[in-house]
A and B are shown apart, each in its own frame.
Chain A
Amino acid sequence: MLLQNGLVVGLFMFLIGIALFAVGLYFYKKKQLIADTPTSKIRSIAMGLVEIFGQVIPIKERLFKSPFTDKECVYYQFTIEEYRSSGKNSHWVTIKKGEQRCLFYLKDDTGMVLIDPTGAKIEARRDFEYQSSLGKDPPEQVIRFLAANNLAHEGFLGLNKTMRYRETIIVPDENLYIMGTAGENPLKIEATENHVDSIMIQKGKYEKQYYISDKSEKQILKNLAILTYGMWGFGIALIIVGAILFFGLI
Chain B
Amino acid sequence: MELWGIIFLIIGLLFFTLSIALLLIYNGLVRLKNNIKKSWANIDVLLKQRSDELPNLIASVKGYMEHERATLEALTKARTDVLQATTLSKKAASDMLITESLKTIFAVAENYPNLKANENFLKLQNRITALENELADRREFYNDSVNIYNIRIHSLPDMIVARMMKCIDEQLFKASDEDKAVVRVKM
A35→B151 CA distance, assembly (Å): 12
Q: Contacts of B145 on A, CB cut-off 8 Å?
A: 38
Q: Contacts of A36 on B, CB cut-off 8 Å?
A: 28, 31-32, 35, 148, 152
Q: A43-B134, A110-B133 are in contact. Are A240 and B141 (CB under 8 A)?
A: no
Tell me, yes or no, whether B137 is within 8 Å of chain A by CB. Answer: yes
A48→B135 CA distance, assembly (Å): 17
Q: A36-B35, A110-B137 are in contact. Are A248 and B1 (CB under 8 A)?
A: yes
Tell me, yes or no, whether A62 is within 8 Å of chain B by CB. Answer: no
Q: Is the CB of B1 within 8 A of A40?
A: no
- Please classify how large the interface on chain A is, using the bins under 10, 10 to 19, 20 to 34, 35 or more: 20 to 34
Q: Contacts of A39 on B, CB cut-off 8 Å?
A: 144
Q: Contacts of A89 on B, CB cut-off 8 Å?
A: none
Q: Is the CB of A239 within 8 A of B24?
A: no
Nearest A residue to B24 by beta-carbon distance?
A28
Q: A43-B137, A46-B138 are in contact. Are A247 and B9 (CB under 8 A)?
A: yes
**Residues 141-169 of chain B, each 1 if its beta carbon lies under 8 Å from chain A, else 0:** 10011001000100000000000000000
**Residue of A28, A32, A46 contacting most chain B CB atoms (<10 Å):** A46
Tell me, rounded to whole Å, the shortest Cβ–Cβ distance linking A23 to chain B.
Answer: 13
Q: Is the CB of B137 within 8 A of A38?
A: no
**Residue of A236, A240, A243, A244 contacting most chain B CB atoms (<10 Å):** A243
**Residues 18-41 of chain B, each 1 if its beta carbon lies under 8 Å from chain A, else 0:** 001000100010011001001100
Tell me, yes or no, whether B63 is within 8 Å of chain A by CB. Answer: no
Q: Is the CB of B137 within 8 A of A41?
A: yes
Tell me, yes or no, whether A37 is within 8 Å of chain B by CB. Answer: yes
A240→B12 CA distance, assembly (Å): 11
Q: Is the CB of B137 within 8 A of A40?
A: yes
Q: Is the CB of A40 within 8 A of B6?
A: no
Q: Is the CB of A46 within 8 A of B42?
A: yes
Q: Contacts of A48 on B, CB cut-off 8 Å?
A: 38
Query: Using a CB-CB cutoff of 8 Å, which residues 20-45 of chain A contact chain B?
Result: 25, 28-29, 32-33, 35-41, 43-44
Tell me, rounded to whole Å, the shortest Cβ–Cβ distance linking B165 to chain A.
Answer: 16
Tell me, yes or no, whether B56 is within 8 Å of chain A by CB. Answer: no
Q: Is the CB of B28 within 8 A of A239?
A: no
Q: Is the CB of A38 within 8 A of B13?
A: no
A247→B140 CA distance, assembly (Å): 56
Nearest B residue to A37 by beta-carbon distance?
B35
Q: A25-B20, A36-B28, A36-B35 are in contact. Are A44 and B148 (CB under 8 A)?
A: no
Q: Contacts of A240 on B, CB cut-off 8 Å?
A: 9, 13
Q: Is the CB of A29 within 8 A of B24?
A: yes
Q: Contacts of B20 on A, CB cut-off 8 Å?
A: 25
Query: Using a CB-CB cutoff of 8 Å, which residues 108-156 of chain B contact chain A?
Result: 133-135, 137-138, 140-141, 144-145, 148, 152
Q: A32-B28, A43-B134 are in contact. Are A236 and B141 (CB under 8 A)?
A: no
**Chain B residues proximal to chain A, CB less than 8 Å:** 1, 5-6, 9, 13, 17, 20, 24, 28, 31-32, 35, 38-39, 42, 133-135, 137-138, 140-141, 144-145, 148, 152
Closest CB pairs A-B (n = 6): A38-B144, A44-B137, A248-B1, A41-B137, A44-B134, A46-B42
27 contacts between A and B (CB under 8 A): A25-B20, A35-B148, A36-B31, A36-B32, A36-B148, A37-B35, A38-B148, A40-B137, A41-B140, A41-B141, A43-B133, A44-B134, A44-B135, A44-B138, A44-B141, A46-B39, A46-B42, A110-B137, A236-B17, A239-B13, A240-B9, A243-B9, A244-B6, A244-B9, A247-B1, A247-B5, A248-B5
**Chain A residues proximal to chain B, CB less than 8 Å:** 25, 28-29, 32-33, 35-41, 43-44, 46, 48, 110, 236, 239-240, 243-244, 247-248
